Structure 1
Amino acid sequence: MGGKIDITIRLGTDTDVDKLEELYDELNDYLENSINYPDWKKGIYPIREDAVNGIKEGTLYVAIINDEIVGSIILSHKPEPAYSDVIWQRELRYSNVFVIYTFVVHPKYFNQGIGEALIKIVSHKGVIKNDFNYFSNNIFLFSIYCFFILRL
């Protein structure tokens, strides 16, 4: 095969919701039969409502190859409620930090640069790289961060 894949990243729109729901379901089907690092469950998370809310808030981005949605990420300035209990290395306003939600890539597009293209949006939008937060039981997400973000 070889060659560079042409990936378009853009804000999600209302017309993307059905395809995002399919992407979420297909990814959760895959995760159910493999190592499920994020511990997601079909019908629980991510679901159609997550896509609808991300689009409504203007925080959901989609990755597209040949008119097919192959990945998505939600970047929000809203922290999880549990974050208020954490003592951070530096105090920052959430208006200066993005929280990554619902970072997905379709399984048939794994290892083709889709996740990297989506994560690069974070650096282009001005995230402070050294303040990435993760849960200790999600080493997979942390390794993605180390591999992609720290290289940018």
Structure 2
Amino acid sequence: MSISIRKGIKSDADDLEILYDTINDHMEKGINYCGWKKGVYPTRNDAIRGIEEGNLYVAIKEDVIVGSMILRHKPEEAYLSVRWKKDLSYDKVLVVYTFTVHPGYFNQGIGFKLLKYAEELGIEEGTESLRLDVYTENVPAIHLYEKCGFEYIDTVSLGLEESGLDWFKLYEKLI
């Protein structure tokens, strides 16, 4: 079956909450690559905010939300002190946030399709770069990003040390 990607809508909030809880439960049972915590991040409120801002996207397979991401023109503060491949104002940059795939659909190309969609949307909007951060221990995501053409830029703190998340790798893909 094929994967479709669309903007999230208000009626997706329940399914997104389930998606976020499912990924967090999965990570708690094994290796918590992303460092997320159930009830802390991501939550239903993160989904609702992304939907209300019009920048949350969902991947759907057989009428089930199997992945999602948020795309914003707003960077984390740590991004501002980094030397990127190209010096751009953030109206020319899409930052990928809250990128996730349902664990029952790992290794089915959903993450790749979400990132390809972000790239196509960026080109359509006149964006010149996709940027993202990833917890240094999130090896599966790092492999995906590199496979999709993102290049490592730097390692920074995002101020999440109290949560046990000391360092994040920054990646960029010029489009």
**TM-score, structure 2 as length reference:** 0.76
| Distance in 2 separating the partners of 1:110 and 1:135 | 18
Alignment CA distance shift 1:94-1:33 (3 Å):
same
Question: Which whole-Å deviations, capped at 9, do the CAs of 1:18-45 have from their partners, x for residues lacking one?
Answer: 0000000011000111121110000011
Deviates more, 1:87-96 or 1:108-117: 87-96
Runs of 4+ in 1 over 6 A off after TM superposition: none
Aligned residue pairs total 146
Letter in 1 for 2:97: Y
Alignment CA distance shift 1:85-1:135 (3 Å):
farther
| Structure that is richer in strand per residue | 2
Letter in 1 for 2:94: F
The secondary structure found in structure 2 opposite 1:82 is helix
| Structure that is richer in helix per residue | 1
Note if contact 1:23-1:106 (Cα within 8 Å) is conserved in structure 2: yes
Q: Which of 29, 40, 47 does residue 44 from structure 1 map onto?
A: 40
Letter in 1 for 2:93: V
Gaps of 5+ in 1: none
Note if contact 2:68-2:99 (Cα within 8 Å) is conserved in structure 1: yes
Note if contact 1:134-1:142 (Cα within 8 Å) is conserved in structure 2: no
**TM-score, structure 1 as length reference:** 0.86
- The answer to whether 1:73 aligns with 2:69 is yes
The match for 1:17 is: 13
Q: Identity over aligned residues, as a percent?
A: 48
The secondary structure found in structure 1 opposite 2:147 is helix
The match for 2:2 is: 6
Q: Which of 110, 122, 135 does residue 118 from structure 2 map onto?
A: 122
Gaps of 5+ in 2: 151-174
The secondary structure found in structure 2 opposite 1:134 is strand
